[in-house]
Structure 1
C-alpha cells in the first residue's frame, strides 16, 4: 500500500508526536508498505514563534502538490494542523480525495496558553480543520470522549505503543550515580503546557531531574536551581536516563496521551501524575503508578510500586496493534471519483 503522511512534526524535532509518527513509518515499511513523509525540512521554513524547535514550512503548496501527484498514494494521512497539514487538506478537498487526520496535541489549549486567542476560537478552528476527515484518530479513550462531546462526529480510538526492546530495565547507576536518591524524573518537552512548575516546586526527598529541551528550559533552570537539567542524545542515553529514575513525575494536565509515561514504565519506573486525560488512559487500573490531585503524595506513594508491574503493563502496548488500527482506519483514494477528478485536472 502507498501511504502519504503529511506532517508539520518530524525529525529533527524531539517530541512524542515525532516519535509516534517515526515509529509508525518504520513499522509500516517493515511490513512492506511504501510510505512517503512530507515534512518541514523539505521546504524553506522558519521557527515557530515562542517555540523555536518547531519549524513551520513556507511556500509549500506547489511542493506538497508535486510530491503527492508524483507518489499517487492509496491513502493520505494528515496528523498535524500546521501549514503542511493545511496544504494537504486543501489538496484533498480540491480533488475530492478522502483523507484521515489525528488529534495528537491539544493545540487549542496550547495556543490559548501562549497567545490572547480565546480558547473557544481555537477549538472552533481545529474542529473545522478535522470536519472533512474520514476518521480523526484519537490517542486515548478520554480524548475520544472529549472530542465527541465537543461535536466531532468522526472520531475513532487509536492507541500508541512503546518499543520495549529499546526501553527496558537497566543499570540505575549508569546516569548520575552521585545524585541523592530517590530520583524524581521528568522526560519530555520543556514547555509551558507541560506544567513543570507543579513538579519542580514540590518539597520532595532526594533529587529532581528534567530531561529534555524546549523554550521554557532557560527560565526553569533559573527558577529551580536545585533541579538537574539534562538533554539526552539518542535512545540509548534516553533509556539510561529513564532507568536512573525512581519515580517518573508527569505534571501535565493537557496531554492527549503521554508516550513518555509508557517509555518510563517499560524501564520499570512507576509514574506519578494528576488524574487527568493521558495518565488515566496510560495507567488505567494497572497499579503501575499513582494518580492524585496532590502530586507530591502521588510521587511519594509511587516509590513503593514493584518495577516488574510497570514493565508488564508497558509490554501490553504493542506497535503491531498500533499499525493494525492505523491501516484499518485509512480511507482508500482510488475508488473512481478521485481518479476522474485528478484526470480532469
Structure 2
C-alpha cells in the first residue's frame, strides 16, 4: 500500500512539474509576476529610486521579458522609466550600483537608436575607461565608490559597459569591463571552491558549521553578470576563453550545491542554517545556467534536471496574485527569508530565468516537431 501511495505521489509530482515546465506556463507565470510588479509600483510607489541598483536589476529581467511579447507595452514602460530618470545614472558616478541602470539605457538604445538614451551613461563610461584603477580592493576608505571591490558589482558594472559596446560598436568599454572583471576575480574568487566571496570582510568569516561564507545571491550576481558579458563578447576576444572557463567551473560547482527543494539557499555551504527557499539567488543562477545551455556552452543532458527543479521552485514561490515570494532582503550576506518577502531585484532574476527557460522549452519543442516530421 505504501509503495502504491508513493508511486501515485511521485506520478502527481512529475505531472505537476511537467505543467510548470511547458513554454506557455512559463510565459504565463512571468507575465503574472511582471504585471504584479508594475501594478504595485504604480499603486504603492517606488521603495527605492528608479536609478537604484535594485531597480536596475529589475529592468534586466523586464527587458528580457519584453522581448518575448508581440507588443511593445513593456518596452514603453521601460522607456517611461528612462524619461523619468532623464536618462541619467545615479549620483555616485563611479559606483557600479549607480550605473547598473546603464544596461537598460544601452539595450533600449540598440532598439530605438535615440542618442539621448545613452548620452549620460556614455559620458561616465568614457571616464571609466581612462582611469588607472590601481587601488587595492580591500574593503575600506569607500573603495566601492571607485572600484569593483564586492562581488555584486560584477552584475552591475561589467554588463553595463558590455552592453554599451554592443550599442555603440566601440570595444573600449567591453575591454575595460574585462580588465576590471579579472582584477576583481583575482581578489574575490576562491579557486578551490569555485565561488566568490562577497568582499574582503568575509575572507576569514565562517558559517555555523565551520564552512566559508559564500552567499547564494552574491554568486548569483557574479554568474549572471558573467553571462551578460559573454552575450556581448565576440568569440575572438582575447579574454573570451577565460570567461568561458570561469563560467563552466562555477556552473559545475553551483549545480552540485542546489538543494532538494530546487533552490540555492542563502548560504551555499551551510544551507541548513538558512533552510528556506530563496528566489533571488536561485533566479540569477538558473538564468545563467539556462543561458549556457541555450548558447551551447553547457550540455542539456547534464543540466536539464537542475533547471527543471529550479524553475519548479521559483514557480511555486509566486503568490496567486503574481507576487514573488522568498526574496532575501537587501544585504551583503546570507540571511533568513520567508514566503511574503519580496523585492524588485528578485523579480528581475525571476524574469531572466524564465525567459531563458522559455527559449529552451521552445527550442526543445521545435527539435521534437522536427524529429516527428522526419
TM-score, with length taken from structure 2: 0.24
Whose helix fraction is larger, Structure 1's or Structure 2's? 2
Structure with more relative contact order (C-alpha pairs < 8 Å, separation 6 or more): 2
| Higher percent of residues as strand | 1
